[in-house]
């Protein structure tokens, strides 16, 4: 189904379709990956930080409680973008449960495109006795009441499609995806960049011959900044990404826990790419938001007490649980796992 749809689009242009259009259909079409059943968790295709260890949600929950009390101390929106199985939210709710009735102040908004995941989130909230809370689901980041807001997104922006550009013989070419009808395979093609605005932007990257730009990510982030500018609040984004462009393709696809080729298994596999945090920070400046943190996941968690929290939990654990907690901790913090490549970007407007 997806293949047919992509071929139909490809046939419209001799060069095929742009990568962002291709990713968009693969992920967000009715039959696309994000409408498929269960992408996340140990039985799904990939495992995220909150699925790795409760310590991640514990530290974020404590941070959220702390900034809420310091800065807002009133009714507020807790908005999560792409909550997956709901694990992060549940860990945040568990750790904040004992504090000053904060849950009564929560207006929880979950922005989720995947119907199956939405149901899993509902089931998990019921299982953990949190379904009585004021929780609303949204397919898009719209219609959210203008209260002070804390917005969290873990591995959310990396889903949004990107375009890729390569400099060849002093000219910028955009990478397109085309179909070889003889060999019956998808392949890459190059299309000369002609749009003046785009050429001007690409000229900023003097030191690179390979650049990725995500219009949909930039637009989404822009709307988050605009919202926070209006309502007051804090945006907490955690994702894998860079500050200086790595000068190579960062597209990754995962099929059954293994790295795969994006031109295969169309609609059946996750496709993500690294976030250009420098660009997001530039956008946030337009709205004069304050940067509360921009650092690696390892540094954020260590600076906000993950070691102390781990020690406290370990006191009540048996041998098997100790092993599990230690292994989760290592994955979150260690430079060779998620500690370095994942970044925290926290912005606020108070």
82 is a site residue for ligand SAH (CB under 6 A):
yes
Stretch that binds ligand SAH, among 80-88, 167-175, 328-336, 339-347 (CB under 6 A): 80-88
- CA 347 to chain CA centroid, Å, is 16
Contact present, 263 and 184 (Cβ < 8 Å): no
40 is a site residue for ligand SAH (CB under 6 A):
yes
Does residue 82 sit in helix, strand or coil? coil
Interface positions, 119-158, toward ligand SAH (CB under 6 A)? 154-156
Residue 131, both tokens:
């379904």
Which of 172, 96, 168 is closest to 133 using CA atoms? 96
Nearer to ligand SAH, 53 or 234 (CB): 53
Contact present, 96 and 64 (Cβ < 8 Å): yes
Nearer to ligand SAH, 90 or 193 (CB): 90
Cβ of residue 234: shortest distance to ligand SAH, in angstroms? 17
Residue 315 burial (CB < 10 Å; 0-12/13-18/19+)? Answer: exposed
Local structure of residue 149 (DSSP, 8 states): E
159 is a site residue for ligand SAH (CB under 6 A):
yes
84 is a site residue for ligand SAH (CB under 6 A):
yes
Nearer to ligand SAH, 118 or 173 (CB): 118
113 is a site residue for ligand SAH (CB under 6 A):
yes
Quick one: which of 16, 25, 34, 301 contacts ligand SAH (CB under 6 A)? 34
118 is a site residue for ligand SAH (CB under 6 A):
no
Nearer to ligand SAH, 53 or 114 (CB): 114
Cα torsion 96, 100, 102, 105 to 10°: value is 180
Q: Which residue is nearest to ligand SAH (CB)?
A: 82
- In which order are the strands placed within the sheet that holds 252-255? 258-260, 252-255, 270-272
Alpha carbon distance 26, 20 (integer Å): 10
Cβ of residue 200: shortest distance to ligand SAH, in angstroms? 28
Cβ of residue 160: shortest distance to ligand SAH, in angstroms? 6
Quick one: which of 83, 148, 245, 339 contacts ligand SAH (CB under 6 A)? 83
CB atoms within 10 A of CB 144: 18
Does residue 233 sit in helix, strand or coil? strand
Interface residues toward ligand SAH, by CB under 6 A? 34, 40, 48, 50-51, 82-84, 87-88, 111-114, 117, 154-156, 159
């Amino acid at each position: 189904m997806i293949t047919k749809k992509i071929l139909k689009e490809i046939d419209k242009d001799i060069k095929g379709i742009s990568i962002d259009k291709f990713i968009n259909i693969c992920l967000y079409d009715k039959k696309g990956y994000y409408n498929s059943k269960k992408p996340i968790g140990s039985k799904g295709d990939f495992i995220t930080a909150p699925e790795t260890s409760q310590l991640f949600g514990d530290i974020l929950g404590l941070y959220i409680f702390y900034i809420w009390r310091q800065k807002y101390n009133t009714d507020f929106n807790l908005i999560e973008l792409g909550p997956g199985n709901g694990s992060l939210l549940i860990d945040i709710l568990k750790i904040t449960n004992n504090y000053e009735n904060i849950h009564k102040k929560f207006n929880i908004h979950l922005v989720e495109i995947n119907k199956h995941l939405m149901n899993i989130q509902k089931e998990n909230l019921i299982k953990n006795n949190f379904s009585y809370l004021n929780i609303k689901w949204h397919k898009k980041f719209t219609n959210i009441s203008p209260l002070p807001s804390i917005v969290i997104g873990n591995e959310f922006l990396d889903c949004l499609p990107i375009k890729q550009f390569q400099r060849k013989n002093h000219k910028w070419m955009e990478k397109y995806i085309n179909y070889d009808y003889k060999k019956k395979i998808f392949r890459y093609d190059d299309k000369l960049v002609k749009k003046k605005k785009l050429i001007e932007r690409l000229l900023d990257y003097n030191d690179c011959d390979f650049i990725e730009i995500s219009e949909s990510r930039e637009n989404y982030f822009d709307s988050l900044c605009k919202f926070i500018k209006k309502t007051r609040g804090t945006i907490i984004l955690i994702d894998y990404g860079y500050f200086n462009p790595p000068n190579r393709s960062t597209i990754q696809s995962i099929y059954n826990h293994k790295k795969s080729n994006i031109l295969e298994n169309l609609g059946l596999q996750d496709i993500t790419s690294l976030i250009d945090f420098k660009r997001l920070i530039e956008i946030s400046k337009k709205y004069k938001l304050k940067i509360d943190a921009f650092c690696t996941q390892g540094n954020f968690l260590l600076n906000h007490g993950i070691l102390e929290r781990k020690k406290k939990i370990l006191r009540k654990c048996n041998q098997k649980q100790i092993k599990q907690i230690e292994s989760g901790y290592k994955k979150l913090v260690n430079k060779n796992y998620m500690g370095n490549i994942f970044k925290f970007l926290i912005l606020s407007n108070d």
